[in-house]
């Protein structure tokens, strides 16, 4: 509980240009310890998720020039929260002191006697051109770069920017927040003496998978941007360095750049997949269709753990099974030593890693990560009369248990966890697809297919989904999708998320 008499602390944090990975280490640290997060409209949701789950989150930004909160109200809010003893993270796009009004907020905090810290951010003036393949300076093209606001305070009446003088500079000009005034800026530069054929680039949504770049000259860039329907936010770059984009366009050359890929994996297990897709240039849409939950009852698993010495084999089919098995093992005040003499099998590298993390090296890991391969490997052993434990969900493919029983084994399938359908608000599907349909939907288990189709049933997007490209982690999942009328385009040879990612890249090549 905060002492109401104590004054808190305000961190003015630069969130960077849009890509959440570009926040500074210090910015991330201060965000994570904040009691209150006050953020601009364009700040990424993934940055907000870095904060404490109990933190109060307040949006005070603006969208396309429409303020939700006045600057005076923002200043007062920061002071009020700090006076209550809260640690406040004021998360601002780009850098707080580069056209971010951070100076105004810092001044009011200073006057109120509130302690604050300025945490610089990666300004979009530098980062966005870099992601568009445009260096602001280059020994052969430009030795100077000038940052200019493209949207001055209208209450000033008269502009304080001397565009006539700037137009005569041979260096690079970078305008922020200027797309709405692009025609006016171009005319003023030409009038001031800048050649009408000077190269120009206008970059929208820079550093993100939805980045768009329109290039032209001062004479035609306005019309080109209108034709392309490019809307704010954006950065305008004027200068010969724009021509280097044809050589340095690294970001948009990524194999999945601009692709919108829907991920249906459970939340908490999708992070690695999402990160890899993002690194390859894709825009991910996270829509978990299953949730991993404890079993309906622990009785079966607890009884099996109590009787562990009776088993000859334990087969783990997923990392989730490993997690819940060992949680209950520890609850029974036992550890990996109680597995001594029991052979351990694991399907897939993640299941193997989960076991290794518990100090257990599996005796059996099939080359192919599917049930059939496990059975083929186990056929080499004499299983007649052997007792085998399968900790897994009850609603799962019964192939392994059935085949092992056919080989004479005594198989106990016990519920270690269950997969359930998450609860969603009625408008979530609309939010997921708000900017148009996905290019591809990925499924990593048959249950993700079943639950996803149940969630979209009757929605306007339902029929569109049947025309989209579908990627499935393996043939069993692909069969479920095909039976449901979906068009499966990608099934990897290696039935892992990494294999699925490689197959998606190959498909789009």
Q: Convert the pLDDT of each residue in 156-196 to its tens digit.
A: 667 778 898 999 989 999 999 999 999 999 999 999 999 99
pLDDT digits (tens, 9 = 90+) for 213-242: 999 999 999 999 999 999 888 999 999 999
Per-residue pLDDT averaged across 377-387, rounded? Answer: 88
Domains in the chain, CATH or no CATH each: 9-122 (3.40.1010.10), 126-248 (3.30.950.10), 260-290+422-508 (3.40.50.10090), 293-419 (3.40.50.10090)
What SS3 class is residue 314?
strand
What whole-number distance in Å separates Cα of residue 464 and Cα of residue 1?
Answer: 51
Per-residue pLDDT averaged across 193-201, rounded? Answer: 97
What pLDDT, on a 0 to 100 scale, did the predictor assign at position 68? 67
What pLDDT, on a 0 to 100 scale, did the predictor assign at position 417? 93
Q: Is 40 a catalytic residue?
A: yes
What pLDDT, on a 0 to 100 scale, did the predictor assign at position 1? 39
Q: 70-74: which pairs have CB atoms within 8 A and are 24 or more residues apart? A: 71/101, 71/104, 71/105, 74/38, 74/105
Per-residue pLDDT averaged across 334-348, rounded? Answer: 92
What whole-number distance in Å separates Cα of residue 200 and Cα of residue 428?
Answer: 39
What whole-number distance in Å separates Cα of residue 274 and Cα of residue 504?
Answer: 13
* Angle value at C-alpha 306, between 302 and 307, nearest 5 degrees: 120
pLDDT digits (tens, 9 = 90+) for 254-281: 999 989 999 998 877 888 899 999 999 9
Per-residue pLDDT averaged across 64-74, rounded? Answer: 75
Q: Find the catalytic residue in 177, 259, 403, 440.
A: 177
Strand partners, 227: none
Q: Is 9 a catalytic residue?
A: no
Residue with the two structure tokens 């069993």: 476
If you ran DSSP here, which 8-state letter would residue 138 be given? Answer: B
pLDDT beyond 80 at 108: yes
pLDDT digits (tens, 9 = 90+) for 287-338: 888 888 999 999 999 999 999 999 999 999 899 999 999 999 999 999 999 9
Per-residue pLDDT averaged across 378-403, rounded? Answer: 86
Is the model more confident about 381 or about 120?
120
pTM for this prediction: 0.80
Residue 164 tokens read as 């006539």
What pLDDT, on a 0 to 100 scale, did the predictor assign at position 123? 96
Q: Find the catalytic residue in 2, 62, 72, 299.
A: 62
Confidence of residue 394 (pLDDT cuts 50, 70, 90): confident
What whole-number distance in Å separates Cα of residue 141 and Cα of residue 241?
Answer: 6
pLDDT beyond 70 at 28: yes
pLDDT beyond 60 at 426: no
Q: Find the catalytic residue in 40, 259, 403, 440.
A: 40
Confidence of residue 63 (pLDDT cuts 50, 70, 90): low
What whole-number distance in Å separates Cα of residue 269 and Cα of residue 291?
Answer: 10
Give helix then strand counts, H and E, for the chain: 20, 23
Contact 287, 263 (CB under 8 A): yes
Q: Is 177 a catalytic residue?
A: yes
Residue with the two structure tokens 């109680």: 338
What whole-number distance in Å separates Cα of residue 181 and Cα of residue 185?
Answer: 6
What pLDDT, on a 0 to 100 scale, did the predictor assign at position 495? 86
pLDDT digits (tens, 9 = 90+) for 440-494: 999 998 889 998 888 888 777 777 888 889 999 999 899 999 999 999 999 999 8
Per-residue pLDDT averaged across 375-381, rounded? Answer: 84
């Amino acid at each position: 509980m905060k002492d109401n008499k104590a004054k808190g602390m305000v961190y003015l944090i630069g969130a960077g240009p849009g890509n959440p990975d570009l926040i500074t280490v210090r910015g991330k640290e201060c965000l994570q310890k904040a009691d209150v997060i006050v953020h601009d409209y364009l700040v990424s949701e993934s940055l907000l998720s870095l904060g404490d789950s109990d933190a109060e989150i307040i949006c005070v930004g603006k969208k396309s020039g429409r303020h939700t909160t006045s600057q005076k109200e923002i200043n007062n809010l920061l002071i009020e929260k700090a006076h209550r003893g809260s640690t406040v993270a004021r998360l601002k796009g780009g850098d707080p002191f580069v056209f971010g009004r951070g100076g105004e907020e810092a001044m009011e905090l200073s006057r109120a006697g509130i302690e604050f810290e300025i945490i610089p951010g990666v300004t979009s003036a530098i980062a966005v051109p870099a992601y568009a393949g445009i260096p602001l300076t280059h020994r052969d093209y430009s030795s100077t770069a000038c940052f200019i606001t493209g949207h001055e305070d209208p209450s000033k009446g008269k502009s304080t920017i001397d565009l006539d003088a700037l137009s005569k500079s041979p260096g690079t000009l970078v305008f922020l927040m200027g797309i709405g005034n692009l025609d006016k800026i171009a005319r003023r530069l030409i009038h001031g003496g800048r050649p009408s054929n000077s190269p120009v680039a206008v970059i929208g949504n820079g550093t993100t998978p939805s980045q768009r770049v329109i290039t032209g000259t001062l004479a035609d860039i306005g019309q080109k941007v209108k034709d392309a329907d490019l809307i704010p936010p954006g950065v305008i770059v004027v200068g010969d360095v724009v021509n280097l984009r044809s050589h340095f366009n690294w970001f948009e050359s990524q194999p999945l750049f601009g692709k919108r890929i829907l991920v249906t994996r459970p939340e908490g297990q999708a992070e690695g997949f999402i990160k890899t897709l993002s690194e390859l240039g894709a825009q991910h849409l996270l829509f978990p269709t299953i949730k991993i939950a404890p079993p309906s009852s622990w009785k079966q698993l607890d009884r099996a753990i109590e009787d562990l010495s009776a088993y000859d084999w334990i087969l783990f089919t997923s990392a989730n099974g490993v997690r819940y098995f060992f949680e209950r093992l520890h609850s029974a005040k036992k550890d990996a030593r109680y597995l001594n003499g029991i052979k351990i099998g694991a399907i897939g590298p993640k299941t193997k890693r989960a076991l290794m993390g518990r100090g257990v090296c599996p005796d059996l890991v099939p080359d192919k990560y599917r049930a059939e391969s496990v059975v083929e490997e186990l056929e080499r052993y004499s299983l007649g009369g052997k007792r085998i434990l399968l900790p897994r969900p009850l609603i799962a493919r019964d192939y392994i248990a059935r085949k092992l029983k056919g080989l004479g084994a005594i198989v106990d399938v016990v519920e270690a966890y269950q997969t359930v359908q998450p609860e969603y608000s009625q408008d979530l599907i609309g939010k997921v697809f708000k900017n148009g349909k996905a290019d591809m939907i990925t499924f990593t288990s048959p249950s993700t297919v079943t639950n996803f189709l149940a969630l979209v049933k009757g929605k306007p997007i339902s029929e569109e989904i049947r025309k989209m490209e579908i990627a499935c982690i393996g043939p069993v999942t692909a069969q479920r999708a095909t039976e449901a009328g979906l068009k499966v385009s990608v099934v990897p040879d290696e039935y892992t998320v990494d294999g699925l990612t490689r197959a998606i890249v190959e498909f789009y090549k």
